[in-house]
Structure 1
Amino acid sequence: MKKKKIAAVILAVMIGITAFSGCGTKENKSPADTSGTGSSVEAQEDTGKEAGAGTTMLEDGMYSVNVELQGGSGRATVDSVANVTVTDGQAMATIVWSSTYYDYMIVDDEKYLNENEGGNSTFTFPITGVPCEMEVIGDTTAMSTPHEIEYTLVFSFPETTSFNELNCEGHMNLAYADQFSIEQYGAYKLITIVDGGRYLLVPKGVSVPADVPSDIVVLQQPLTDGYLVSSAVMDLVCKTGALSCIKFTGLKEKDWYVQEAADAMKAGELVYAGKYNAPDYELLLGQGCKFAIENSMILHNPEVKEKLEELGIPVLIERSSYEKHPLGRLEWIRLFGVLFNQEQNGTAFFREQVERVQPILEKENTGKTVAFFAVSSDGTITVRKPNDYVSSMIDLAGGVYSLNGYLEEEDNALSTLKMQMEDFYVAEKDADILIYNGTIEGELNSVDELIAKNSLFADFKAVQSGDVYTTGGNFYQETSATCDFIEDLNKILTDSGDTDYRFIQKLK
């Protein structure tokens, strides 16, 4: 029953996932959700028009802009704020009328139909940029016969204002992630990370508002020449298409399992700039580093964060690994999409993964118990907490994490804990499946290697039945492949006979 409830939630996410706004339908065009944000408008071809003088060619992303309606009788109005979505350089504006009677609009000789039957008339159409003025025609059915009326729409960003005068106009609808939030304040987005600070994202061409509180870090787009230290984030950045925004890394080429990152380092497009606790400040400053992405490890070396900020390099601390739900960890791709003006790509990728995992979630749980662990050099056993994302992946795949109910949940941020071998033996001896975490102490090549670490493993049920596996070293870094790991687990749990695993290898 639990699995069915989860499946129902995921189905709701597939239907309803949006990011601040939705779009509608252009006449004579087949609907296609190219943005991945709930839009049914097709990506528009290049109109061949250049932006007028003073017009800002916006980076890909989503914006709230001012809109003013001129012309007509003066009785009809439009909402003073319009949502603008930019994809591949093409800006699409969504406006909402004060009336329900507009059935179509004509913009640049193209007809656009009302997207909101039963509510205030809503239209989405291309604009040349912001600011801009556009001559449009609106057809109203409010009178005895339909009438086409000429109007002018004026799009603009709000003038530089005080942060204290900004109002929250909406927020990103998150399906699983609970460690960050994103709110829209006019042209700006306010990112809040749990125990990690607040960040005001300022679009290209928009001024930084006055009186920004001292605890809010200002990030001005485009964010380029970044120093990415959190290795688990690189895969998500690559999947949004924003690898070119990263110039410096905290890993060397030989340590990357993310192929795009390794290739970029080989080509000289990505440069090693030191570990999180010992960055090469001279290199970062000399080559124009504009911001850094760290994980919570940086909090153990606060002087490093302070030094980076002193050099004018803002630091964003991400907490994706603190998400308890595996799809919550994956949903951080949407935050990185927003940061790098690739919001549509990030949301589309997340949606595809949610849809992909749906068939597995609809299956009944197998009831098989799974142990996920590693043996440390001192002989202790490193296990995942029962409430973390790895144990959740086991549950979603159709298994039962074998330490559920055995360990008390500890109220700290760590996702792992240590057990003595004697305690581990009592808890896991009868587990149906053993999976060795090869990302901690290195991969295993055989069951004999496991037994060589401690002879007690020979008595384990899974060892005797031949159900022992190891993960590859790529498990931690390839964050975007959450659903691949769930699929691997499901193949094992259901005895599907399919041994084409992405992350897991069976030991003999």
Structure 2
Amino acid sequence: MKSRKLTVIIVSLCMCVSVLSGCGSTAEKEQVQHAAETQTATAEPDTSLEDGEYTVNVELEGGSGRASVDSEAKVKVTDGQAYATIVWSSTYYDYMLVDGKKYTNENEGGNSTFTFPIAGVPCTMDVVGDTTAMSQPHEIDYTLTFSFAKDVSFKELKQTGQVKLSYADQFQIDEYGNYKLITIVDNGRFLLIPKGVPVPADVPEDVTVLQQPLNHVYLVSSAVMDLICQTGGLSHVAYTALKEDDWYVQQAKDAMADGSLVYAGKYSAPDYEQLLQGGCTFAIENTMVTHNPEVKEKLEELGIRVMVERSSYEKHPLGRLEWIKLFGILFGKQQQADDYFNKQVKRVKPIMEKKSTGKKVAFFAVSSDGTITVRKPNDYVSAMIGLAGGTYSLGNYTDEEKNALSTMKMQMEDFYSAEIDADVLIYNGTIEGELTSIDELVKKNSLFADFQAVKSGQVYTTGSNFYQQSTGTCDFIEDLNQILTGEGDGTYRFLKKL
């Protein structure tokens, strides 16, 4: 065998030297090219997996043939390291040796069970199992082979679970073994396939296939950038629809400064050529793209799969925040996303359990034409005010334009009538820029001087980052609760007092 390998190496070197010197024949050049192609085709498979849990096939060879292991094994990947859990057909295995390290039985009284690190999937490894079934313990050599099933049909997939959502109702994630089926209200279904797992046959036309890892992503929806950053998934995003100066998410701003995140055109006019040259195959849009359906069609025509997120349509503010679970799963950061979300909910639970203060809160901005832009009473901002212990009401005013927007316009006279007695005024600094003083507000319209909140000095502003800072939900609720109850030290993270 060694002499054969040596001969192949010598022949290959001779052929390469011949080609480099320009003296090789056409046949020899073709042989070199064929050899290179063969080498590429037979290269070691990439066994690395995204963080998560998998079900894989496992085969056992060796021993007398009487012992076996369950044909399926659970594999959990944490920080890039895969750990397999196998279950023997016997209760007599007390330990295993894997790469020289000893692992003891985890299932005392039941079939012997072991968890140990593996290189990934697929992989083959030699192990030792110690059995006490005979008169004396015996160490027996075995070979374990881990692999994914090659022939899978979508129609035969069986649901094994569902990602738990506590507040969000605009998306759903069903688990089918190694696969996750994502459903977004009015915006389609997506089959998420982990790296190394085969694409099922017979996938319906209305289901978009997403194969991990999802890299070189074009992120158009600026409201979810903050969520992605909190999961540690920013490295998967290469293109954005905002320029550096338009970002209020610092990590995104820094990424644009160092060139790892690049502007690729706004949502209505993306740079298709740039996206294709950069290897982009996935775009995350918000519902603004529905105003330019030809953009979505063109992206999909070019092979760039499009997901339209609807986080802003969540009526519960924690539902909007819970979209972090979806992005965590997309980018292999599910545990980080779950941990962050649970921590945020824990922060505001005590506030949510308090009785309402009954105090009235107005949330608004003054447009350049003098009209007042307010949030509709049933959106997540009005819900945040309610969770903080306040009341959001526009009196008897109703929205005449029955559209899907979360904001609506009011004439100053109508706003005056509805909100003159408000206990707290919060100016939305996202729309026309944040205010610096109450005088600046009164200059916009002298009628503001009559408002109860202006007279009592209870006027606040959000920063320009209000819309993009999706993870500031709990900061906003805590700040406003302090204002309404008078509790706390008066230090605010999200609101600024004028």
Paired residue for 1:201? 192
Q: Is the aligned partner of 1:214 residue 2:214? A: no
Is the aligned partner of 1:401 residue 2:405?
Answer: no
Tell me the distance in 2 between the aligned counterparts of 1:409 and 1:398.
28
Report the residue type matching 1:374 in the other structure. A
The CA deviation at 1:211 is 2.0
Mapped partners of 1:319, 1:430: distance in 2: 34
Summarize the Cα distance change of 1:84–1:485 in structure 2 as closer, same or farther, 3 Å threshold. Answer: farther
Aligned residues of 1:383 and 1:417 also touching (Cα < 8 A): yes
Counting only pairs closer than 5 Å after superposition, residues 199-278 of structure 1 correspond to structure 2 as 199-278=190-269
Give the Å deviation of 1:500. 2.6
Task: Say which of 63, 79, 96 aligns to 2:54.
Answer: 63
Q: In 1, Cα distance between the equivalents of 2:418 and 2:93?
A: 66
How large is the Cα RMSD of the aligned pairs? 3.3
Q: 1:358 and 2:340 equivalent?
A: no
Residues 54 and 269 (structure 1), Cα distance of their counterparts in 2 relative to 1, 3 Å cut: closer
Q: Residues 74, 320 of structure 1: CA spacing in aligned structure 2 closer, same or farther, 3 A cutoff?
A: farther
Q: 1:331 to 1:112 in 2, by over 3 A?
A: farther
Change (3 A) 1:68 1:481: farther
Picking from 409, 413, 419, the partner of 1:422 is 413
Deviation string 1:373-419 (CA, Å, 9 cap, x unpaired) is 11222322222122221112112222222348875899753222222
Report Cα offsets for 1:73-121 as digits up to 9, x if no partner. Answer: 969864x54443212111133567899x799765634446648x99999
- Secondary structure at the counterpart of residue 373 of structure 1: strand
In the alignment, which residue of structure 2 is the partner of 1:474?
465
2: CA distance, partners of 1:257 / 1:312: 31
- Conserved in 2, the CA contact under 8 Å of 1:242 and 1:342? yes
Q: Could you say if the C-alpha distance between residues 455 and 148 of structure 1 is closer, same or farther in structure 2, counting changes exceeding 3 Å?
A: farther
Which residue number in structure 1 is paired with residue 153 of structure 2?
Answer: 162
Aligned to 1:506: 497
SS for the counterpart of 1:155 is strand
Contact 2:272 2:299 in 1 (8 A): yes
Distance 1:293 1:231 in 2: 10
Look up the match of 2:368: 377
- Give the distance between the partners of 2:177 and 2:111, measured in 1 at CA: 21
Question: What is the distance in 2 between the residues matched to 1:388 and 1:123?
Answer: 50
Distance 2:489 2:201 in 1: 59
SS at match of 1:418: strand
User: Structure 2 vs 1, CA of residues 81 and 415 (structure 1 numbering), >3 Å: closer, same or farther?
Assistant: farther
Deviation by residue 1:241-295 (Cα, 9 ceiling, x = unmatched)? 1111111110010010011111111111111111100111122122222211100
Structure 2 residue 495 is the aligned partner of structure 1 residue 494: no
Paired residues in the alignment total: 451
Measured in 2, the distance between the counterparts of 1:76 and 1:486 equals: 56
Larger C-alpha radius of gyration, 1 or 2? Answer: 2
User: Which structure shows the higher helix fraction?
Assistant: 2
Q: Look up the match of 1:38.
A: none
Partner of 2:336: 345
Give the distance between the partners of 2:249 and 2:80, measured in 1 at CA.
28
For residues 475 and 178 of structure 2, the distance between their equivalents in structure 1, rounded to whole angstroms, comes to 37
Residue 287 of structure 2 aligns with an amino acid whose one-letter code is S
Structure 2: distance between partners of 1:72 and 1:405: 83
TM-score, structure 1 normalization = 0.79
Residues 165-222 of structure 1, C-alpha deviations (whole Å, 9 max, x = no match): 2222222111211111122223322211111111112222233222221111111211
CA contact (8 A) 2:103 2:116 kept: no
Gaps of 5+ in 2: 1-42
Query: What is the alpha-carbon distance in structure 1 between the residues aligned to residue 387 and residue 112 of structure 2?
Result: 42
**2:103–2:114 contact (8 Å) kept in structure 1:** no
Paired position in structure 1 for 2:279: 288
2:302 aligns with one of 296, 307, 311: 311
3-state DSSP of counterpart to 2:358: coil
* Secondary structure of 2:54's aligned partner: strand
Q: Give the drift of 1:445.
A: 1.6
- Asked whether the equivalents of residues 328 and 336 of structure 2 are also in contact (C-alpha less than 8 Å), the reply is yes
The verdict on how the C-alpha distance between 1:425 and 1:342 changes in structure 2, with shifts beyond 3 A counting, is same
2:472·2:494 contact (CA, 8 Å) conserved in 1? Answer: no
Conserved? CA contact 1:402–1:431, under 8 Å: no
Aligned amino acid, residue 51 of structure 2 = D
Distance 1:387 1:127 in 2: 50
Higher normalized contact order (CA 8 Å, seq sep 6+, divided by chain length): 1
d(CA) in 2 for partners of 1:113, 1:365: 54
User: Unpaired segments of 5 or more residues in structure 1?
Assistant: 1-51
Listed as ranges, the matches of 1:69-148 within 5 Å are 78=70, 81-94=72-85, 106=96, 108=98, 109-111=101-103, 114=106, 124-133=115-124, 135=127
